[in-house]
Structure 1
Amino acid sequence: MYNLLVGFPDGTAFGGRVVEHTDEAIRAYVAPGGRVEPSRLVNLPTLVMPELGDGEPQIARVGRIENLVLSGSDYRFRFVPNPAVPEIAITQIEAAAQHLGITDWEFVRTHWAVKDVDLYRVLNETVTGATPAPRAFRLPIEAPREADLVAVMMPFDARFDPVYEALDAAAADAGLRCHRADNIWVHDHIMDDLISLIWRARAVISDFTNKNANVFYETGIAHTLGRDVIQITQSVEDVPFDLRSIRSVPYLANGEGFLRLREQVADRLRDLVARSRVL
């Protein structure tokens, strides 16, 4: 899925125009009971552009939404462009409209839609003609996504074994299976196993406890690849500032805390599974 924002150049979206031109099944997910759930929009890739021919530069940009809040009857937000994606002429978006799920009327209507489309895949295949090519590692593009796989990013420390056990149980409760990179030895270099795990995963769980730099790096890769990321932490202060707008699951490092963590993560995973079934 991706957010499509047409108009709204000042970071304010009219409440009555949010989730317009959105399929009913997706609308039920992002706005349960008719009320938008911001956490289900800020994690999505986002395409923003002005109305066609409205006098604004006719370019589209790709990025993500931060700080989405309801202010009166409108929604305030901040759009953060993806520096790896150049600006795109709206004429190119028009040419790819069918693949992007955009109707002709939407180009001249200020609104916020949510589309059941893999934005980056369509742009790579029909607009930019390029596939992201990191220099520090290789993306295993030949490997298929595994719909039941949950990847866990956490410090390689025995103190986190009870945390992983709770997450493994949560995945099983949701009908999924859980792996972390130190449980895998396919490649000689552990980084290759990490990237492969993130690439193949349906979702990623990142434990930000103790501000582990490796976990931050791996989470950034997961976000870039468009994976659903569940953030957990023993302290909210360990969550990077840029990611605090995304809901995290706090937990205590004791028996009761691990049980609660299992319940909350299992609920979130079930939600992701249910969403994928209606899309």
Structure 2
Amino acid sequence: MFNLLVRAGGWEGRHGSMSADRMLRWTDEAIALMFGSATVLDLDELIKLPTLFAEETNHPRHPQFARVGRIFGAVARGRDIHIEYAFDSDIPAIPQDQLIAMAPQLDISLRNRGLDELDQTHWAVKNVDLYRILLTSHRPGRHAPSAFKLPEPHVLDSSQVSAMMPFSPPFNGVYDAIRRAAEAVGMRCDRVDGIWENHAVIQDVISLIDRSAFVVCDCTGRNPNVFYEIGIAHSLGKEVILITQSGEDIPFDLRHIRYLPYLNNGEGLAGLQAQLTERLRNPIAR
């Protein structure tokens, strides 16, 4: 079984809500009874199921995607059910046209009484093995990079932090602050100039980013190498933390992302270390 949550505008962040009167719609009656009723729901049992988060097709936002994830908490407050959730980073986003193509296999109703199930905000439960359908029907492909190779198999080191920054003496104190912040939370930080695992430097950069849980990127001075590395880290779905000595060095395409400003002096670096320590300790905080 799996939960299907459909909402206008899609799902972003880690928190959301669903109107209580939309619960268990488009759900087989026998399945619905397993989780209580529209007025008394067994939320603890519901959130044990894997969840498919989808967007209403009649509120187009291009491109539209569905995501697979888990609900970690659900509580009824007034007329709404508030949830905390996270997407599964190992399962690629599902384009809306592919979701519609898989709808019959997922028991998602299309054109029932003139309505598609994906046209209405609701929370349904489907008696279908979601992961089996995804393994057999959702096989997104991607072109292998030509400039570098992605390590296979992928190994994530939950204690690894990497620092992407200019390699020059004025940044040595900044790097020390990043390393101390990592050590304060039981992690370690590396910079690619301290690694020699491959003949090509870019391959060491990719390998370090790929295995890192966090990637700290210093935008100071708009170093082109750093921005290239930011793009790679974002493409690999990494938790990227931007830092800078000047907000003017954050380009337009990144200004929607929060960054940590700092001054490159004793007091400023101590403040940066404290901010990074908190950010590494609480990765959900935005």
Mapped to 1, the partners of 2:281 and 2:117 lie a distance apart of 33
Written as runs of structure 1 = structure 2, the 5 A alignment for 1:154-169 is 154-169=165-180
Which has the higher Rg, Structure 1 or Structure 2? 2
> C-alpha displacement at 1:130, in angstroms?
1.8
Mapped to 2, the partners of 1:132 and 1:85 lie a distance apart of 17
Mapped to 1, the partners of 2:105 and 2:211 lie a distance apart of 27
SS in 2 for 1:186: coil
Aligned to 2:224: 213
Mapped to 1, the partners of 2:204 and 2:259 lie a distance apart of 26
Does the Cα contact within 8 Å between 1:230 and 1:248 map onto a contact in 2? yes
1:183 aligns with 2:181: no
Q: Which amino acid in the other structure matches residue 276 of structure 2? A: V
Q: How many pairs were matched up? A: 202
Does the Cα contact within 8 Å between 2:6 and 2:120 map onto a contact in 1? no
Mapped to 1, the partners of 2:137 and 2:206 lie a distance apart of 25
Q: Which amino acid in the other structure matches residue 99 of structure 2? A: I
1:263 aligns with 2:269: no
- Percent of matched pairs sharing the same residue: 40
Does the Cα contact within 8 Å between 1:152 and 1:178 map onto a contact in 2? yes
In structure 1, the gaps of 5 or more residues are: 22-46, 64-83, 99-104, 113-121
Aligned to 1:67: none
Written as runs of structure 1 = structure 2, the 5 A alignment for 1:114-153 is 127-153=138-164
Mapped to 2, the partners of 1:57 and 1:271 lie a distance apart of 31
Does the Cα contact within 8 Å between 1:208 and 1:216 map onto a contact in 2? yes
> C-alpha displacement at 1:181, in angstroms?
0.7
Written as runs of structure 1 = structure 2, the 5 A alignment for 1:171-250 is 171-250=182-261
Rate the CA distance shift 1:134–1:261 in 2: closer, same or farther, 3 A. Answer: same
Does the Cα contact within 8 Å between 1:60 and 1:89 map onto a contact in 2? no
**Which 4+ stretches in 1 moved above 3 angstroms?**
54-63, 84-88, 92-98, 105-112, 122-126
> C-alpha displacement at 1:61, in angstroms?
3.8
Mapped to 1, the partners of 2:225 and 2:182 lie a distance apart of 23
Rate the CA distance shift 1:88–1:249 in 2: closer, same or farther, 3 A. Answer: same
Aligned to 1:90: 99
In structure 2, the gaps of 5 or more residues are: 19-52, 68-92, 108-115, 124-132
Mapped to 2, the partners of 1:239 and 1:59 lie a distance apart of 26
**What is the TM-score normalised by the length of structure 2?**
0.60
> C-alpha displacement at 1:175, in angstroms?
1.3
> C-alpha displacement at 1:152, in angstroms?
0.7
**Between structures 1 and 2, the one with greater helix share:** 1
Does the Cα contact within 8 Å between 1:19 and 1:111 map onto a contact in 2? no
**What is the TM-score normalised by the length of structure 1?**
0.62
Q: Which amino acid in the other structure matches residue 50 of structure 1? A: E
Rate the CA distance shift 1:216–1:89 in 2: closer, same or farther, 3 A. Answer: same
Does the Cα contact within 8 Å between 2:164 and 2:215 map onto a contact in 1? yes
Does the Cα contact within 8 Å between 2:64 and 2:95 map onto a contact in 1? no
Does the Cα contact within 8 Å between 2:66 and 2:94 map onto a contact in 1? yes
